[in-house]
């Protein structure tokens, strides 16, 4: 397995292009199952998770062609010949469950493996299933698979009310409702930009949707959808991650394609830490103002709050901040597994349940560390930028699920980052 070696101490100056959002693209791709005509996605990220979703769609009979060096995905589902999403593919990625709603909506039946476990805690799919049941689906869970049928071959509009805002369940319900008979109202819907992006794409395909970005989405089902071309929204998590790079290492970086509305709560915390974030004609420019950053407290919340997917990276910044900060994780349990690795680098972190107290130190020191999940892996690389000496991050296959050409992007701004292929 590959490793990434970071030599700390170099300031970052220059520009970094931000890719299309992984989480948005993984949600948009199953939309091809809703119609016979082609669906083309532009600004697609080139990541291993996208390859996994491609593999899954192809296993169902969809045609997926990667164009323009992978940044364009041309898809067609005119010849679906398999309605079973197999465990061997689904287990690789939880987003695979998003094929369930579209297949059930268009074909009236589907068999989809339950996803595997997740290193950052329980992420059950029960809300996905309850939403589909509300629309009339008959579900039978056996042998690790969801066997789903729509009586009469078509789902029916319904009121779907979630006990809490679930991004994945909102997406699955939204996809399914586009072809359901009648009106579906999703209450306590998630408000993430990726859901807004999905609704905009589905509307181009002929869906009748109102209210995306709010807590209530109304969908009037239609008899059929058409093809479309749609650009994937900017990846706000990649954007936030690279906003932290000059904050940690020093210097000034412009993040091309960055939008303040995607990271407003996050940018407010950076401002409180004495980091300048300004909108430019081409994106966002980030600069650490004076000396050490200030410690700030963070509570993760659903959008538009502080994203859980930026908590690990923010902890890396707080490790060398002036003062003491408390990070509270309210979305996923077990999401502080990067803390012991940061402690190996000299960080002062005390984890108690869903709270991590970080007392800033003057200097981190390079060390061999191990990535435990996607966001933890990049937090260790960010910490390495500020550390004295060499940091070696192993198990970086996690990183390749969510960050496109990370070493190249950081190196272009002056970072000393190198990937070593082989055993770790």
Tell me how far apart the alpha carbons of residues 390 and 410 are, in angstroms, rounded to a whole number: 16
Does 122 lie in the same domain as 95? yes
Does 405 count as an annotated binding residue?
Answer: no
**Left, alpha or beta for 58 (phi > 0: left; psi -120 to 50: alpha)?**
alpha
Do 208 and 263 sit in the same domain of this protein? no
92 carries a ligand binding annotation? no
pLDDT of residue 402: 85
Where does residue 88 rank: exposed (0-12), middle (13-18), buried (19+ CB within 10 A)?
Answer: exposed
Percent of the chain with pLDDT over 70: 97
Query: Which structural domain range is residue 167 located in?
Result: 22-231
* Residue 118 is a catalytic residue: yes
Task: Establish whether 331 is an annotated binding residue.
Answer: yes
Which residue reads 């005390």 in tokens? 350
50-82 per-position pLDDT tens digit: 999 999 999 999 999 999 999 999 999 999 999
Average pLDDT over the chain, rounded to an integer? 94
pLDDT tens profile 94-143: 889 999 999 999 999 999 998 864 343 344 689 999 999 999 999 999 88
Residues 226, 252: one domain? Answer: no
Is there a cis peptide before residue 165, judged by omega within 30 degrees of 0?
Answer: no
Which listed residue (118, 201, 319, 413) is catalytic?
A: 118
Residue position matching structure tokens 């390749």: 400
- Given this model, what pLDDT does residue 423 score? 59
Is residue 138 domain-shared with residue 283, that is, in the same domain?
A: no
The pLDDT of residue 398: 84
For residues 378 and 283, membership in a common domain is answered with yes
Percent of the chain past pLDDT 90, that is, above it, reads 88
Of 231, 255, 277, which residue constitutes the final position of a domain?
A: 231
267 and 355 assigned to the same domain: yes
Same domain, 180 and 260: no
Instruction: Answer yes or no: do 69 and 11 share one domain.
Output: no
Q: Is there a binding annotation on residue 309?
A: yes
The CA-based dihedral angle spanning residues 116, 119, 120, 123, taken in that order and rounded to the nearest 10 degrees: 10
pLDDT tens per residue, range 175-193: 999 999 999 999 999 999 9
Do the strands 12-17 and 72-76 form a parallel or antiparallel pair, or are they unpaired? unpaired
Check residue 261 and give its pLDDT: 96
124 annotated as a binding-site residue: yes
Annotated ligand binding at 334? The verdict is no
Asked if 261 and 221 sit in the same domain, the reply is no
Q: How confident is the model at residue 424 (pLDDT cuts 50, 70, 90)?
A: very low
22 is in an annotated binding site: yes
pLDDT of residue 122: 44
125 among annotated binding-site residues: yes
Q: Are residues 207 and 303 located together in one domain of the fold?
A: no
| Distance between CA atoms of residues 82 and 97, nearest Å | 16
* Domain C-terminal end among 172, 197, 231: 231
* Judgement on whether residues 207 and 248 belong to the same structural domain of the protein: no
Which of 212, 231, 250 lies at the terminal end of a domain, its last residue? 231
* pLDDT digits 0-9 by tens, 332-346: 766 798 999 999 999
The arithmetic mean of pLDDT across residues 29-36, rounded, is: 98
CATH of residue 132? 3.65.10.10
List b or e across 363-395, with b for residues whose CB sees 16 or more CB atoms inside 10 angstroms: ebebbebbbbbbbbbbbbbbbbbbbeebbbbbb
Find the range with the poorest average confidence among 208-217, 299-308, 330-339. 330-339
Asked whether 339 and 351 are in contact (CB, 8 A), the reply is yes
Q: What is the pLDDT of residues 224-277, one digit of tens each?
A: 999 999 999 999 999 999 999 999 999 999 999 999 999 999 999 999 999 999
Domains of the chain: total: 2
pLDDT score of 184: 98
> Is the domain of 181 the same as that of 148?
yes
């Amino acid at each position: 397995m590959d490793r990434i070696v970071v030599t700390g101490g170099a300031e970052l100056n220059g520009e970094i292009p931000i890719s299309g959002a992984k989480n948005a693209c993984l949600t948009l791709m199953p939309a091809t199952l809703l119609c016979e005509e082609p669906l083309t996605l532009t600004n697609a990220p080139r990541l291993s998770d996208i390859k996994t979703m491609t593999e899954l769609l192809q296993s169902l009979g969809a045609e997926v062609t990667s164009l323009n060096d992978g940044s364009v995905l041309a898809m067609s589902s005119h010849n679906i010949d398999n309605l079973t999403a197999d465990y061997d593919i689904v287990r690789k990625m939880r987003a695979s469950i998003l094929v369930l709603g579209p297949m059930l909506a268009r074909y009236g039946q589907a068999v989809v493996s339950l996803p595997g476990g997740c290193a950052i805690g329980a992420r059950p799919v029960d809300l996905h299933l309850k939403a589909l049941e509300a629309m009339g689906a008959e579900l039978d869970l056996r042998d690790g698979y969801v066997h789903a049928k729509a009586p009469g071959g078509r789902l029916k509009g319904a009121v779907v009310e979630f006990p809490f805002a679930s991004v994945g369940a909102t997406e699955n319900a939204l996809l399914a409702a586009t072809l359901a008979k009648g009106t579906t109202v999703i209450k306590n819907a998630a408000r993430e930009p990726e859901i807004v992006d999905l609704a905009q794409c589905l509307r181009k395909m002929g869906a009748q949707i109102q209210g995306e970005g709010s807590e209530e989405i109304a969908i009037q089902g239609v008899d059929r959808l058409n093809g479309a071309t749609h650009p994937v929204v900017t990846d706000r998590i990649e954007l936030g991650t690279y906003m932290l790079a000059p904050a940690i290492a020093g210097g000034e970086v412009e993040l091309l394609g960055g939008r303040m509305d995607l990271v407003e709560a996050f940018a407010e915390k950076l401002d409180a830490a004495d980091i300048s974030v300004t909108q430019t004609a081409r994106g966002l420019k980030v600069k650490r103002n004076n000396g050490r950053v200030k410690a700030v407290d963070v509570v993760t919340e659903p959008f538009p709050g502080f994203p859980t997917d930026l908590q690990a990276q923010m902890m890396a910044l707080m490790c060398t901040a002036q003062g003491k900060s408390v990070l509270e994780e309210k979305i996923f349990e077990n999401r502080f597994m990067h803390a012991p690795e940061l402690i190996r680098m000299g960080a002062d972190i005390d984890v108690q349940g869903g709270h991590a107290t970080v007392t800033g130190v003057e200097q981190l020191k390079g060390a061999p560390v191990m990535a435990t999940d996607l966001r933890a892996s990049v937090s260790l690389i960010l910490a390495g930028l500020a550390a004295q000496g060499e940091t070696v991050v192993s198990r970086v296959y996690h990183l390749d699920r969510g960050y496109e050409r990370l070493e190249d992007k950081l190196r272009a701004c002056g970072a000393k980052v190198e990937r070593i292929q082989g055993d770790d």
